[in-house]
Every structure is written in C-alpha cells, then in structure tokens.
Chain A
Amino acid sequence: MTPLPLYHQLLDACAALLLLLSFAMLSQRRVVTLVNLYAVQGAVLAAATLLLAWRTGEGHLYLSAALTLALKVAFLPWLLHRLIRRLEVYWDTEPLLNVSGTMIVGLVIVVFAFALAQPITRLTSTATRSAIGIAVSVVLLAFLMMITRRKAMSQVVGFLSMENGVFFGAMSASYGMPMVVELGVALDVLVAVLVMGVFFFQIRERFESLDLHHLESLKERE
C-alpha cells in the first residue's frame, strides 16, 4: 500500500477535525464556547479550502477560502459574541436529551452518513471524495444539535454549522459550487444571522427570556 501524498493526508486531517468539532459542539453547553468552536470550524474549513485550491489550482477556490475566513471566522463570530453580551445568554439550559445520549445518537448518525455517502463516493472522481461522508455527518450532527437545544442562540450556531457541512460537502464532491451560488449562500447566511438577531431581541422583549419553550404558547388552542 502506497502512502497517501501529504496534501491528501492534510485534507483528511482537516475533515477529521471538522467531525471532531461537530461532536464538541454537540456536547458543549456554554454558548460562548459554542461560538468559538464554530469559529474554529470555520478556520479548519478555510484551511481545507486553501489546501484544495493550492492543489487543484482552481482560482475560485482561493476566493471561497478568503470568503470563509472573513465571514465564518471573523465576522459572524464577532456578531454572535456581541449578541451574547447584549442579551446576556452565556449558558444554555439542560438540553432535551442528555449529553451522553446525544453522543450515542450522533454516532449512529455518523455511521448512517457514511453508508449514505458510499454511492456518491463511488461516482465522483475528486481527490477529496472520502470526505463526503464527513460532510454529511457534519450536516446531520448540526441538525441534531438544533433539535436538542432550548436556547435560540445555540440553534443559530447549529444552523450555521450545518451550512459549513454543506459547504464542505460541495467542496469535496466537486471542488466547490459555482462562484455565484457560493456568494449567494454566503449572503443568505449573513442575512439569516442578522434577521435572527432582530428576532432574538423581539422574543426576549415579549417573553423576557430566550428560552424557546415560551413559544409553545403561540400554538392554537382548541
């Protein structure tokens, strides 16, 4: 068995880091740390993109890497930290499912994701195709995190992390989406976070808390 080239090994390491960070986020209850983990995830993603850009020589991947760095490592975490300070939500309350339970469900999901990614892996010819399973896992784990959290802030981080997974998936399956789509998605994420920030203030003003179980009172009564 020939050893893999170095860049490939590095890419795989990045992918593994991403998955690890996803699990870390799944278990983390401090909101500030959650945002930091998100920023680190963004940084790893940017590094992987850069590596791939250098290796394949695709010009637009450099641009994506720069965009990722600016948006996901710098701007969005800064925005979220500011929101946390102003809303004073440093901790999430006890998740709906306890941490160890969540972890076990997460493991099952990762297995499922790899099984799912297999047919896609066989079809594609990119160097990074082994990472597709990880990308799907990141998406599903982020989804799981959104389900188990009670605070709106953690759910936003989950949503953003899901987008990271989608981005990574597109990159490993076909060296990134077309530039227009990528720019569009980046803009969407930005706007979504801004809008959600406004929502947070509205929700807190109405219920004096960001705990989402208060929204249950909005259900139609019989």
Chain B
Amino acid sequence: MLLVGCIALLLGWTGIGLAGLLRPRSVVLAGRFLFPLGALLGFALAGLAAASLLGGGIERLIVPLGLPGLPAHLRLDPLSSVFLVLLGASSGGISLFAGGYFRAGEGAPPGLLCLQYHLFLASMGLVLIADDAYSFLVAWEVMALSSYFLVVTQHRMPEIRSAGFLYLLMAHVGAICLLLSFGVMQGGSWLFTFAAMRAAHLSPGWAAAAFLLALIGFGAKAGLVPLHVWLPEAHPAAPSPVSALMSGVMLKTAVYGMLRVGLDLLGPPVWWWGLAPLILGLLTIFYGVLFAAVQTDMKRLLAYSSVENIGIVFTGIGLTIVFAGSGMKAVAALALLATLYHCLNHAFMKSLLFLGTGSVLHATGERNLGRLGGLIHRMPWVAWLMLIGTLAIAGIPPLNGFVSEWLLLQSFLFADHLPHEFVNLLIPMGMALVALGAALAGYVMVKFYGVIFLGQPREASLAQAHDCGWLERVGLTWLALGCLALGLFPLQVIDALGAVTRQLIGAVVPQASPHWWLLAPVPGRPVSYGPLVFLTATLAVVLLTVFGVRLTYHQRVRRGPAWDCGFGAVTPRMQDTAEGFGQPIRHLFQSFFEIERELPAPADRAPRYRIAIRERIWRLAYEPISGAVERLANTAARLQQGRISIYLLYSFATLLVLLAVALLS
C-alpha cells in the first residue's frame, strides 16, 4: 500500500512539472504555487517512506510498463525507504526555497524549470524503487538528462555550456559502466530483474568485475576521485536549488546504487572488494578537502566539500564490505550505519549551504569570496541559518555532522581484529586520514563562513544586499531544523536505520546504554555520546557567561574605531582573504596543485595579484584521453570527403568485400 502511495506521489511530481508548462513564463504560478506544492508532496513521500522503514517490511509491485517480457518491477524495502526519506525531506526544503528563488529573466523560463526540476525529483524517486535493471537505468538516464538541462539553465554563457557537457559526458561514461555491470550480474539467465540477479550465482571473477564496474559507474555519479571532475564545474554553473538537489540528493542515489549492488544484488560480499571503495574513499576525502581549502569561489568550495563527504561515505561502504566479508557482522552494521547516517546528514547540511550561497548570490551578484564579507549584518536570517549548516558540516557537536563521523571513527577503532594482516596495517592510516579530513573540513568551513559573513564588507556595493524572502527562509529553516534534529536525537535515528542494517548485514547496532539520551553503540567499551548533555552544558556556559557579563558590566557603551597600530589607513580590503586563509594549505600540499601565479612588480602602480589553481589530474589523465579521442576522430574524419562518388564507392567496396567473404566461406 505504501509503495502505491509512493508511486502516486512520484506521478504527482510529474503532473506538477507538466502543470508548469501551462503558463511557462509565470513566476507566480511556478514559484508561489507549484514549487510549494511539490514540497508538500516531498514531505508526504518522506512520511510514507518513514512509515515503511519503521514497519521494516518489503513491498513489491509489477506495473505492466516497459519492455515486452520485462514489465517494470518496483519494490519498497528498508534500504530504498531510507533514501526516499532523504529525498522527500530534503527536497521538501529545497522546493520551498526554490519557490522563492527562481525569477523571470534568468535563463530558462520558470515553467520549464518547474518541469525539469520535478521530473528530476520523480526520476530520483523511481531510481530508488526500481527493482529491475531496465527501469533502474531508464530512471537513471532521465535523472541525468533532466539535471543536465537544469545545469545549463543559463545556457547562453559558453562556460556553463561546457560545464554541462562535462557533466553529461561523465554521466554517460558512468551509465555505460552500469549497463555492463548489470549485464554481468544477470549471470546468463537473461532476466534483468533484481530478483534474478540476487539468485544468479556468479563465478568470483565475474562477481568482482560486476562490483568494479558498478563502483566506476556509481563513483562517476557520486564524484569519487578521479571521476569527480564534473562536480566543481557543474555545481557553480547550476542555479543554487539545483546545486543543492544534485549535491544533497542526487549524489546519494549513487550511494544507494552502490549499496544495492555491493551488499544486496551480488549476494554476500567478498572482503577484498571493500578495499577499492575504502582506498578510493580515503583518497577522495583528502583530495576534496585540500581543494576545498584553496578555492575562492563559494560554490566551487562547496562542490569540493561534497567530494570530500562522498569520500567519507565511500570509506564507510568500503569498511562495511571488508567487515561483512570477514564475518564481523556487528561492526559491519556499525560502519553501514555511519554511512547511511552521513548520507542523511550531508543531504541536509549541504543543501542548506548551497541554498544559502544562492541567497548570497541573489543579494550581491557575487560568487567570488574576495568580494564578499560582513553579510551577517545585512542578511541575518541567511547568516544564522547557515551558521548551523557550517557548524554541522565542520563536524562540531551537538550537530549532526559530528555523529556520523564519530560513528565512522568508532567502526575504524573496532577494526583491529580483522583477520587480514595488510588491512590491519591500513586501518590506522585510514583512520588518521578521516580525522585529518574532518579537521581540514573544519578549517575550510571557518574560511567559508568567516569570509562571507564576518568582518567588514569588502565592496561598497554589499551595503545594498538584502535578506532573502519568506519562502526561502522557510526552506532554509526546515533544513537547519533537520540538521539539529539529526544531531540531537541520534538514538532514534539509529533505531529507525536498524531495519536497513538488518536487511543488508543481518545485524543491528546494539544500544549498550540504558539511557535514551546516551548513545553507546559499542558494547563492552567505554564510548558514549550524549548530544543533549553536550548542548545543555554548552548553553549553560554561554548563558552563565552572558548573565555574568551583564551583571558585572557597567552598561556604558562607547563606540570608536578599532586600534590600527597607528597606521591610520585601515580599509576593509586589508582583511584576511580567502586566498590568504588558504595559503598555508596551498604551501604545505603544493605538489597536489597546479598553480599559476602572477605577482606584481615592486614598482607597479596598479598592482594585481592573480592565482589560478588547477587539478593536476586534468593534465595527467583527462587531457591525454581527450587528445587521443580527438586524434582518432580526426583520422576518422578523413573518410568524409564530401564527394558523393566517394561515398558510393565506400558502399560499393563494402558490398564487394562482403560478397567476396560470402563467396569464399
């Protein structure tokens, strides 16, 4: 019954999208009516999926649509339910925000955006409930195409078109790998339902091949290094609600796919499969956070931060498979739990941050951190709500980012009993990398928030910045509340996620503490975390300090300029900049970056400092590949002579050769 409800809601999204075409240029219809309606459907979907998750059952349905002989199989189980909750709840906030965000005159008309946006949502939902490879891939491609059109909303700018092309290219490379992976997984039965794939017995070599292909396919969508190159291009190009949806939700559909294939369809996993996502995930964490630290464009910074978070998630997936393959079910469940929890967290906090940058962009027209600053006075709503997101993604308790990273570190700590010597050596290094990544993420977020919202405005035009509208505020508030709730009530979330770990691993994470507010996931070890306690203590300290200061303070306020060391000509441009803040990282990890720098001469009257940081991976991997493709294409283009006689000669020669072959055989 719940599944039917979900399908109805997905159809509802499609209907809302089509309704946008009734008056494609009307901002009022799309913004004030259709997008909020879509948000309501999102909340309803989250509710239905949550009910299914708590029930823990599996529902199946066969809809007579699709290929002859292969009707669309749909299935709602705990794993899809978790991701449907994620999709519904976070897209609800994003849709509310989008209702206030899209305006006329910015690229594509709002009605068209409404159609693409809701098709994007519906296709993501279908990906999550598809139960055969055909419907899965069709939904997957609809998702890629609709998001492509959303990315190139402002298609008149050439750099946005090229960013869109890069995204589409990577999406298709990934889709080809998925196609091949499903082709391997059907195992000679030629039945492409997931049920047949579960039943197929693959030889170890083929199973590993299917896993690897799926890792490449889903990794390209998720942004796993070295397939992450489209993220820093596509996210800044897309309108902010679209970036939020892509980063917050779409990347998670790839995680869903990876979990579905690795832990469900391929049967009991082999432990060494997990090493690939584990190592790539660790690499991705480190790589993403380093590049985030040196960005000066706020949306690029967030895109690299998404790469880092995807790294955390894939590290979790890798650990889960290593543990599950080694027969350590309890700790595998813990690692899986951390993975799922981090997906939920990231969906809320990254959507919140991307939407916030959208508000800043609308208010100031600037994406460059070097021209922002001091916006907390002009945009208090956005600034305070984004503070929650920033703290959460930096992994500060009692917010949600801390919980999942803590759980992941706990599962690393658990790993010293692994029966594989080399992996035992790898685990502490991995843990150190995760911890380093978390610390650097904090550094990045200090830079992100500090440069945008704190200090003095760096440009005079920032004085005209205005706060966002009420619909946008509602959307942002919803997402911030999500961050808070996920941070403060981890036990309840873990309880709900238990159905998934039971389904995929066959074990649940035990609750070792008798208290409802104290999280103690590892029995027999003195590790526990009580976010409410932490919050209470922090609040008490802050309130006591405020109270104490008020009590002893003499209440006489005098405003004057800050002491400028006698220099006398301090301007807002003398504040620490994004480049300056990132400089230590750039210096320490110089060999990772390809830096192009222009320094002004000492006697320059109008000095300009310019720095461009590129990824070495372009030169090392992508440019050789694209060069080879181009050379090949040019060689093939010599066939195109432009003369009909030559073309006819081609056909004639082909015909003669084929006939000769037929004659000789």
Task: Give chain A's interface residues, CB within 8 Å of chain B.
Answer: 96, 112, 115-116, 119, 140, 143-144, 146-150, 155, 212-213, 215-220, 222
Counting CB contacts under 8 A, is B557 at the interface? no
Stretch at the interface among B264-272, B388-396, B636-644: B636-644
CB of A147 within 8 A of CB of B645, answer yes
| Chain B 192-212 per-residue mask, 1 if CB under 8 angstroms from chain A, else 0 | 000000000000000000000
Partner of A155, one of B641, B644, B652, B659: B644
Question: A178 to B15, alpha carbons, bound, how many Å?
Answer: 49
Give the residue name and chain of the B residue nearest to A109 (CB): B656
Set of chain A residues within 8 Å of B599, measured between Cβ atoms: none
Partner of B641, one of A140, A147, A219: A219
CB of A144 within 8 A of CB of B642, answer no
Question: A64 to B641, alpha carbons, bound, how many Å?
Answer: 40
Set of chain B residues within 8 Å of A212, measured between Cβ atoms: 643-645
CB of A220 within 8 A of CB of B644, answer no
CB of B663 within 8 A of CB of A116, answer yes
| Chain B 172-199 per-residue mask, 1 if CB under 8 angstroms from chain A, else 0 | 0000000000000000000000000000
Set of chain A residues within 8 Å of B648, measured between Cβ atoms: 143, 146-147
CB of A112 within 8 A of CB of B645, answer no
Task: Give chain B's interface residues, CB within 8 Å of chain A.
Answer: 634, 637, 640-645, 648-649, 651-652, 655-656, 659-660, 662-663
Set of chain A residues within 8 Å of B640, measured between Cβ atoms: 219-220
Interface on chain B toward A: helix, strand, loop, or mixed SS? helix
Question: A144 to B652, alpha carbons, bound, how many Å?
Answer: 8
Set of chain B residues within 8 Å of A96, measured between Cβ atoms: 645
Question: A194 to B644, alpha carbons, bound, how many Å?
Answer: 20
CB of A219 within 8 A of CB of B652, answer no
Give the residue name and chain of the A residue nearest to B663 (CB): A116
Give the residue name and chain of the A residue nearest to B645 (CB): A147
Question: A220 to B645, alpha carbons, bound, how many Å?
Answer: 17
CB of B644 within 8 A of CB of A215, answer yes
Partner of B642, one of A148, A149, A216: A216
- From A96, A147, A149, residue with most partner B Cβ within 10 Å: A147
Given known pairs A216-B643, A217-B642, A219-B642, the reply for A116 and B659 (CB within 8 Å) is: yes
Given known pairs A213-B643, A215-B642, A219-B642, the reply for A147 and B663 (CB within 8 Å) is: no
Give the residue name and chain of the B residue nearest to A159 (CB): B648
13 additional A-B residue pairs with CB within 8 Å, beyond A112-B660, A222-B637: A112-B656, A116-B659, A119-B663, A140-B652, A143-B648, A143-B655, A147-B648, A149-B645, A212-B644, A216-B642, A216-B643, A218-B642, A222-B634
Set of chain B residues within 8 Å of A218, measured between Cβ atoms: 642
Question: A115 to B648, alpha carbons, bound, how many Å?
Answer: 23
Cβ contacts A to B, 28 pairs, < 8 Å: A112-B656, A112-B659, A112-B660, A115-B663, A116-B662, A116-B663, A140-B652, A140-B655, A143-B648, A143-B651, A143-B652, A147-B645, A148-B645, A149-B645, A212-B643, A212-B644, A212-B645, A213-B643, A215-B642, A215-B643, A215-B644, A216-B642, A218-B642, A219-B640, A219-B641, A219-B642, A220-B640, A222-B637
